[in-house]
Structure 1
Amino acid sequence: MGDNRLPPLVLTDDERVVLQGWASRRTTAQGLTVRARIVLERAGGHSNFVVSARLRVARGTIARWRARFIADRLDGLADEPRPGVPRTITDAQVEQVVVMTLESVPEGETHWSKRRLARKVGMSSTSVGQIWKAFGLQPWKTETFKISPDPLLIDKIRDVVGLYLAPPTNAVVFSVDEKPQIQALERTAPVLPGTPERRSFDYVRHGTVDLFAALDIATGQVIAKVTDRHAAIDFRDFLADIDAHVPAGLDVHVICDNLSAHKAPVVQHWIMQHPRFTLHFTPTYSSWINQIERWFAELQRRCPDRGVFCSVDQLTTALHTWIDIWNKDARLFTWKKTADQIIDHICHYCSRISRPAH
């Protein structure tokens, strides 16, 4: 049903194609999408009242964009320049801030602060902060790294990552490690609820436990065992627990780090007696490649970090409870990087830190 008081809205074939493209959300401008739909609906002969009900916009808005389209066609649907203060910071000044942040430091200091750099370049600290944010610069932050000196670094990366991305058939792959010295801490004062939660900085320690854990990379399920130590014999016994959980007929691949307990004679003797087990060792100083470390971080954040435990038994019960809850709704940690990508990244980093400036 049309609106007889307004002249008909006629579109050319090219205009209709462009408007249909905008209306189908192939543009990032949400307002332009709505405007295109308004024009198409009005060109279809629908009244402002009908279009308002369909698109849930005010009739005055429909009339305004219809009039702008008639006056300027497609160009009339674009946003008009908005009033505002003219730009005062030039591209050269932006480049100066970025270059100084990345390639220099203030005298006697290790990095720039917003206010120090703002005084140096002659602009406000807010402007410096906005430039840093736009370019992702955070000069106050530091990260640590360690390049593995393992002579078999490349071979071990390919071995472990290969198990993640293409696990062998008729086999189970476990990421295994120990989390030692989990403390049973009791705060000296009751924890006060709120956001953030408040707790006393001092505590009474009631002992520690060690946690052995094996993450099934295919299911996210975890086999765990709490002990009072993590000697070689304890690792051997944990391997026996894994053996009891895995159905007969399946090979077992265990990814673990280079702890001496993992290579002890008692462990090697057990492996020889259980030929379906194969140990795969991560490169030295490369715990990041062992997926169980990601699970340990989840456990630490959700259970021990904010827990209050008056005894080792309470801590042990809390750990077992959390692990049981995890296994009821286990989720996978998906490995995405290939071995070549990791090796290329390491080589690129080594190239950067080997330059004369370093």
Structure 2
Amino acid sequence: MSGTGARGRGPRQRGSISASTVRRRLKDDALKPWQYRSWIFIRDPAFQPKAARILDLYARTFDGVPLDEDDYVISSDEKTSVQARCRCHPTLAPGQARAMRVNHEYRRGGALAYLAAYDVHRARVFGRCEPTTGIVPFMNLVTQVMTTEPYASAKRVFWIVDNGSSHRGKAAIDRLAKAFPNAVMVHTPVHASWTNQVEIFFSAVQRKVVAPNDFTDLDQVRDRLRAFEDRYNATAQPFRWKFTTYDLDDLLARLDRQTADHPGESSIAPAA
């Protein structure tokens, strides 16, 4: 009878546990090692004033003075390497209780760069497709916007950009001002793309235009992007941006307190 359970129920597996019990206990456990949050070190010594300047512009203020009616705020960036992936078998449309089916194999149909300028307060987007990114493609986008009313005759047009090579540093500021004297370039802090509202628009482009990436060629990509711009401009409202300079100061103060408690982690900030 050794090794046999009571009443002939067979060998008892000591320490065994069902899969459902494992799932239930992991769900209730305080430690969840499969979950994580991203963070990034603040590398820009002027992080606070740079970020605050942008947040103030979103709140229609510049250097402590309210913006005029003929002041505009443009958030701009580039989405690199938008590919045309030609699937080897036709995509199957979704059906009842069945998700869309996209074939894993594809043929590369080339790639392009999508540049966009987003008017923060008017929810209007200007986009263009270029073979690649760079100074010339970016200035093409600037010209597209700045030769259009109301920006052509505006008092000031603030251009919020990141620190990419297409518009980095004082040289880019001077280049923009020389081409369009009423344009003011404002850089985000280094590694702070979350302060640039156009990234929200690019997120929508990725979800609603690019995915699941089933295009016959780059012309179809361009057509889809233009059609999305038209619909967006006809229906969109400005983003309800809630993160203010007060929130920024509170965040940095909390990070300073964390520094005192955990030396070596002084530069941790939320990543977009």
**TM-score, structure 2 as length reference:** 0.77
Cα deviation for residue 224 of structure 1 reads 0.8
**Cα distance in 2, alignment partners of residues 244 and 159 from structure 1:** 26
How many corresponding residue pairs? 234
189-198 or 254-263, which moves further after superposition?
189-198
- Which residue does 1:10 correspond to in 2? none
- Three-state SS of the structure 2 residue aligned to 1:172 is strand
- Which residue does 2:162 correspond to in 1? 257
Amino acid at match of 2:162: D
- Which residue does 1:338 correspond to in 2? 244
Q: Structure 1 residue 309 and structure 2 residue 224: aligned?
A: no
- Alignment CA distance shift 1:157-1:306 (3 Å): same
- Alignment CA distance shift 1:127-1:178 (3 Å): closer
After superposition, the C-alpha distances for 1:2-40 in whole angstroms (9 at most, x for unaligned) are xxxxxxxxxxxxxxxxxxxxxxxxxxxxxxxxxxxxxxx
- Which residue does 1:145 correspond to in 2? 39
**Cα distance in 2, alignment partners of residues 229 and 144 from structure 1:** 29
- Which residue does 1:16 correspond to in 2? none
Given that residues 236 and 267 in structure 1 are in contact (C-alpha distance below 8 angstroms), is that contact kept between their aligned partners in structure 2? no
**Cα distance in 2, alignment partners of residues 357 and 147 from structure 1:** 11
Which one has more relative contact order, counting CA pairs under 8 Å at least 6 apart?
2
- Which residue does 1:210 correspond to in 2? 113
1:293 pairs with one of 178, 189, 199? 199
After superposition, the C-alpha distances for 1:196-224 in whole angstroms (9 at most, x for unaligned) are 21112221111111111011111211011
Structure 2 unmatched runs, 5+: 1-16, 62-66, 266-272
- Which residue does 2:104 correspond to in 1? 201
Cα deviation for residue 231 of structure 1 reads 1.2
- Which residue does 1:238 correspond to in 2? 141
The structure in which a higher percent of residues are strand is: 2
The structure in which a higher percent of residues are helix is: 1
- Alignment CA distance shift 1:223-1:200 (3 Å): same
**Cα distance in 2, alignment partners of residues 297 and 209 from structure 1:** 17
Given that residues 52 and 248 in structure 2 are in contact (C-alpha distance below 8 angstroms), is that contact kept between their aligned partners in structure 1? no
Q: Structure 1 residue 280 and structure 2 residue 186: aligned?
A: yes
**TM-score, structure 1 as length reference:** 0.60
Q: Work out the percentage of aligned pairs sharing the same amino acid.
A: 25
Structure 1 unmatched runs, 5+: 1-118
Amino acid at match of 1:336: K
Given that residues 188 and 203 in structure 1 are in contact (C-alpha distance below 8 angstroms), is that contact kept between their aligned partners in structure 2? yes
**Cα distance in 2, alignment partners of residues 213 and 254 from structure 1:** 12
2:25 pairs with one of 109, 128, 133? 128
CA RMSD of aligned residues (A): 2.5
